[in-house]
Amino acid sequence: MTRKRDWEIVTALDIGTSKVAAIVAAMDEDSRELEILGFGSSSSLGMKRGTVVNIEATVRSIHQAVGEAELMSGVQIGDVIVGISGDHVQSLNSHGIVAVGGDAVSETDMARVIEAARAVVVPSDKRVLHVLPREYVVDDQDGILDPTLMSGVRLEAHVHIITVGESAAQNIEKCVRRCDLRAERIVLEHLASGTAILTEDEMQLGCCLLDIGAGTTDIAVFEGGSIRFTHVIPIAGDQVTYDIAQSLRTPTQSAEQLKISHACALAQMVEEDKEIEVVSVGSRPPRKISQQALSRVVEPRCEELFQLVHNVLHRGGYLESAAAGVVLTGGTSAMPGMVELAEEVLNVPVRLGHAQGARGLSEVVNNPSHATGVGLLLYALKPRDQAAAAGGRSQKGGLRSLFKWFKGQF
Ligand SMILES: Nc1ncnc2c1ncn2[C@@H]1O[C@H](COP(=O)(O)OP(=O)(O)OP(=O)(O)O)[C@@H](O)[C@H]1O
Ligand SMILES: [Mg+2]
């Protein structure tokens, strides 16, 4: 076997409300290739609406997922890229201006202008997670994505700043540390999903990503090749399960099973005469109901969710400017009828997104529940953004200090 170049090992840790997933991959920064080597998953027991509510339980879930991923990949996991979401996430747009140091824009000028743009007042219970450049203006020329080496005297940066709750971020770091791991980067989950799912054209034209998980629906709007808006709605698949359990008087676990196996978000898409069995609570015998009756419970909740999304996007005028429409991902988007219902409520073209840009383990790459995990891996191919650099949270060496994986030896 011929030995190939050294590839770096990266591990993504998606601590979701329903599951914790650890994905190990080998990455080649030069060719921007990513090959998934191992995967582990466990039920998430210590999370609520995307936020840690029980440290010990979350630590156990991470341990199990990481252990499985280590076993499958044969790699000992040390550093991880972790996702974060929850209704503590907030975002704002800001801008900064500096005088260009020499006769052309240098990397130092870029760092200075981002530093100027991030100088906003952030409450002490918030942490600046990302400062994402949206566009640069050199003198009077706007719409520039990379101003390096451009001539000019004045450099302006328009950025999207994302803040998270300091304690929410610390709790994630604590859980990771207790598993003898290091949170090498913390990345906003919808940014990760967007990286994995959206095409360049969609990001350029204007597109809205909805990651509908178990506890949160994460919204990210991209336009002109960069992020414009982010928002988290603390309603997702768990509420649908709760509604089924309440309406059909069935235990939560059975409601979850019924939802995954038989629910459709649009009742009119279901055959009228198809019957399904519903487990009853206590010692009562199971009952039969029509699949359409189940979908009539599910549809109003999903419709309400899309209505909330509509209101959020419409308020900022984002729906109207999203020429490439809406892309759905996250486990709940796998429910039949979600795309059709979203199109009805949002009145724009909607598609289901699958992660792109990674190979190996197709059951992971093609599963919408793992779009965030794959996106976190792809994020490793991007340069560390200014928030991490300026915030001093990055540690020297970063990914480069990870074990090298000699691809040719396997
Ligand atoms: N085929 C399906 N039909 C309906 N719902 C599904 C299906 N498959 C998965 N789900 C739901 O998707 C949700 C899990 O999705 P996902 O793994 O994206 O969430 P998570 O990352 O754990 O949570 P979050 O991102 O909200 O913190 C669960 O509510 C589950 O019931
Ligand atoms: Mg998720």
Amino acid at position 36, single letter: I
Domain co-membership, 287 together with 151: no
Give the pLDDT score at 47: 94
In the reported structure, the alpha carbon of residue 303 is separated from the centroid of ligand 1 by a whole-number distance in angstroms of 17
Domain co-membership, 152 together with 208: no
In the reported structure, the alpha carbon of residue 241 is separated from the centroid of ligand 1 by a whole-number distance in angstroms of 10
324 located within any domain = yes
Task: Please report which ligand is nearest the Cα atom of 47.
Answer: 1
Q: Which of 260, 276, 295, 338 to mutate to test the pocket of ligand 1 (most atoms within 8 A of CB)?
A: 260
Atom of ligand 1 nearest to the CA of 336: 3
126 located within any domain = yes
In the reported structure, the alpha carbon of residue 212 is separated from the centroid of ligand 1 by a whole-number distance in angstroms of 7
Mean local confidence (pLDDT), 35-58: 95
pTM as predicted:
0.89
Domain co-membership, 227 together with 338: yes
Task: Please report which ligand is nearest the Cα atom of 240.
Answer: 1
Domain co-membership, 104 together with 212: no
pLDDT of 199 > 90? The answer is yes
405 located within any domain = no
What is the domain range of residue 339?
200-353
Measured from CB, residues less than 6 Å from any atom of ligand 1 are: 16-19, 44, 50, 85, 213-216, 236-238, 256, 259-260, 263, 330-332, 334-335, 369
Q: What is the CATH number of the domain that holds 94?
A: 3.30.1490.110
Domain co-membership, 156 together with 220: no
pLDDT, tens digit (0-9, with 9 covering 90-100), for 215-247: 999 999 999 888 889 999 999 999 999 999 999
Residues 6+ apart with CB under 8 A from 102: none
- pLDDT band of residue 383 (cuts 50, 70, 90) is low
Domain co-membership, 119 together with 244: no
Domain co-membership, 157 together with 268: no
pLDDT of 394 > 80? The answer is no
Mean local confidence (pLDDT), 374-393: 64
128 located within any domain = yes
What is the separation, in whole angstroms, between the first and last Cα of the chain? 9
62 located within any domain = no
Give the pLDDT score at 30: 75
For the chain, what is the domain count?
Answer: 2
Helices (H), 97-199: 107-117, 166-178, 189-197
pLDDT, tens digit (0-9, with 9 covering 90-100), for 327-364: 999 999 999 999 999 999 999 999 999 898 888 888 88
Domain co-membership, 125 together with 222: no
Give the pLDDT score at 25: 95
Q: Which of 259, 341, 366 to mutate to test the pocket of ligand 1 (most atoms within 8 A of CB)?
A: 259
Domain boundary among 142, 163, 184: 163
101 located within any domain = yes
Task: Please report which ligand is nearest the Cα atom of 16.
Answer: 1
Q: What is the CATH number of the domain that holds 255?
A: 3.30.420.40
In the reported structure, the alpha carbon of residue 159 is separated from the centroid of ligand 1 by a whole-number distance in angstroms of 31
Atom of ligand 1 nearest to the CA of 50: 27
10 located within any domain = no
Domain co-membership, 104 together with 210: no
319 located within any domain = yes
Q: Report how far apart, in Å, the C-alpha atoms of 336 and of each of 136, 256, 259, 332, 360 are.
A: 42, 15, 10, 9, 26
Task: Please report which ligand is nearest the Cα atom of 192.
Answer: 2
In the reported structure, the alpha carbon of residue 347 is separated from the centroid of ligand 2 by a whole-number distance in angstroms of 25
- pLDDT band of residue 57 (cuts 50, 70, 90) is very high
Give the pLDDT score at 102: 84
Residue 406's DSSP bridge partners are 6
Do the Cβ atoms of 95 and 156 come closer than 8 Å? yes
Angle between helices 189-197 and 371-379 (to 10 degrees): 90
pLDDT of 382 > 50? The answer is yes
Atom of ligand 1 nearest to the CA of 237: 29
Mean pLDDT of the residues in the chain? 89
Mean local confidence (pLDDT), 33-58: 94
